[in-house]
Chain A
């Protein structure tokens, strides 16, 4: 039975020596039945703690955790222990049982061991392309295969919820994308509620329907991955979700002044602000471009190739200390001068703090 997971005002405090460290501060969260929720956050913000509380491996200091309407954890008490929560979990280390072959690893989680189970495990293995390695020990498998065995183990028992803790961070960059696509595919195919925890926005973008940014023990923003990317509520969220240039700006009478450019911004209060512009929303050009505004002349400091596009580091002529990253479709000579253009609607304005 797939469930809706609900957390209500969950806090978690650890004792570190004499000090109390508050890892989670009143987290509210709903992961709808069949949805895939991504939790993004830098290390040390309580991502793993949150996940372990949902799994029942950790006790919340206060607050409640529900699976559908059933209370599973409450203040300092675990009501349904992890072994009865029917959770499928993929650990960051994959945590395969080293003494068992891949098949037995997957079967370990399944209660009845009949012919039906064997068929089911083989079906899942086929889907995950590990059918031919089922009789091998984990140490004889590649990283990607181990991860898929761990995923198969989590899926084989028809979990109420699938929890993935940094599932891609131990994989080679080369196979990470196909692994992400596979996770997304099986999650939808099985219709299982899922929670993916990661510090890498690429994981969240490729897998999650809804994502939350966990900062300092609480969600700073929850929304679709695109929403987080395009309309982040703060500079910290913007930074976490993707690369961004941060500049100082001033708003006066509905106009935002940043570098040498002026943009209409009716929605902002007057005063000093932080301005964020993603590298793909900037362009360096000799001429004006329709729909883009000029931010003034810049000098190219670095021009590098990043695989599919070029990446420039530029500085305004009059402010050598400011450096901006700009995506470009062609390389530029070092020290050449050009005009920096920006898509005005993509410029993000944050409160100065």
Chain B
């Protein structure tokens, strides 16, 4: 076997990376070019061949259907992700404090509540959607913003708490002890030290929550679904009919629906990566 020179090695690395990037870009590419095709072209030309006469007709057609759901999604998902991440981070810090406490009762409490939260995260929300629907119907929240927000908050705070706990676990205990000794209360320590040190984790959790909620189809389908008053995944799905599918409009709708998560990921993605790196390296990325 021959030894590869450093240049060849670097080239191979780049090549493999390029291949993966292309594989990942194929669906987005297909989504865009097929959205630009006419209804006839989309069924008569191969899916990876760009249109001869690109037109925005499909985008224009779906926009009138998607504008309200898109706005609804922004109204519901962005604030709820922020609130869920924030409360989740606070909860995670509380668990951190309990877990480093030497009191056995507190330790037991921490383990119990934490297990409950983990259970809440791993439980499929489909399993509790019927009681939830009844509760919302009783409270008059069904098909309202409040109802969707309530359901998302319910399901995504535990997720955020669980994710943030992993980032909190790498906080050096000496630093928290030092803050206590310096006379800082829990709230001040949280805002002045814990939040700045776990920013990559907080942003990662935020992005995760935004994308999960944005793509959540089932909750709005059941709880927030009256004509155009729904969220974007349900609205996109409506282009796939039981009697036939308008492929070009489906592609265009899918593209419009993914713009916001894509933009968020592009702008905050490096924090997301840094957050993941933090988890792997014992906290170096947090500084």
Contact = CB atoms under 8 A, between A and B. Distances in A.
A83 B180 contact: yes
B134 interface: no
Interface in B171-194: 172, 174-175, 177-185, 192-193
Interface in B83-112: 102-104
Interface string A97-140: 11110000000110100000000000000000000000000010
Contact of B175 (A55, A58, A97, A109): A97
Given A98-B197, A99-B193, A139-B287, A83 B183 contact: yes
A93 B184 contact: no
A111 B177 contact: no
A297 interface: no
B193 A58 contact: no
A260 to B, nearest CB: 54
A95 B102 contact: no
Q: Which of A15, A57, A81, A85 has the most CB of B within 10 A?
A: A57
Contacts of A97: 175, 178-179, 192-193
Contacts of A88: 181
B140 interface: no
Contact of B172 (A59, A93, A111, A139): A93
Given A97-B193, A98-B197, A108-B192, A157 B177 contact: no
B172 A95 contact: yes
Interface in B139-184: 172, 174-175, 177-184
B183 A98 contact: no
B192 A98 contact: no
A21 to B, nearest CB: 13
Given A98-B197, A99-B193, A139-B287, A83 B181 contact: yes
Nearest to B195: A99
| A interface secondary structure, majority | loop
A89 B181 contact: yes
Contact of B177 (A57, A59, A85, A109): A57
Q: Which of B172, B183, B286, B287 has the most CB of A within 10 A?
A: B183
A86 interface: yes
A281 B178 CA distance: 44
A47 interface: no
A306 interface: no
Contacts of A93: 172, 174
Nearest to A93: B174
Given A91-B174, A139-B287, A108 B181 contact: no
A86 B181 CA distance: 7
Contacts of A100: 192
Interface residues of B, number: 21
A84 B183 contact: yes
A87 interface: yes
Contacts of A96: 175, 178
B108 to A, nearest CB: 13
A14 B102 CA distance: 9
A157 B182 contact: yes
B79 interface: no
A98 B194 CA distance: 11
Nearest to A57: B177
A153 interface: yes
Contacts of A99: 193, 196-197, 287
Contacts of A86: 183
A108 B179 contact: yes
A83 B174 contact: no
A63 interface: no
Contact of A57 (B103, B180, B192, B287): B180
A95 B183 contact: no
A223 interface: no
A96 B102 CA distance: 23
A26 interface: no
A98 B286 CA distance: 9
A191 interface: no
Given A58-B102, A59-B102, A108-B192, A95 B184 contact: no
A109 B174 contact: no
Q: Which of A59, A84, A88, A99 has the most CB of B within 10 A?
A: A99
A55 B180 CA distance: 10
A95 B178 contact: yes
Contact of B184 (A14, A83, A85): A83
Given A99-B196, A108-B192, A139-B287, A153 B182 contact: yes
B183 A109 contact: yes
Contact of A98 (B102, B179, B184, B287): B287
Interface string B243-287: 000000000000000000000000000000000000000000011
Contacts of B177: 55, 57, 82, 91, 95
Q: Which of B172, B178, B193, B287 has the most CB of A within 10 A?
A: B178
Given A98-B197, A108-B192, 16 more contacts: A57-B181, A59-B103, A81-B180, A83-B180, A83-B183, A83-B185, A84-B183, A89-B181, A91-B177, A92-B174, A93-B174, A95-B174, A95-B175, A97-B192, A111-B183, A157-B183
5 contacts: A87-B181, A88-B181, A95-B177, A99-B197, A111-B183
Please list the 3 inter-chain residue pairs (A to B) with the smallest Cβ-Cβ separation, ordered nearest first: A95-B174, A109-B182, A99-B196
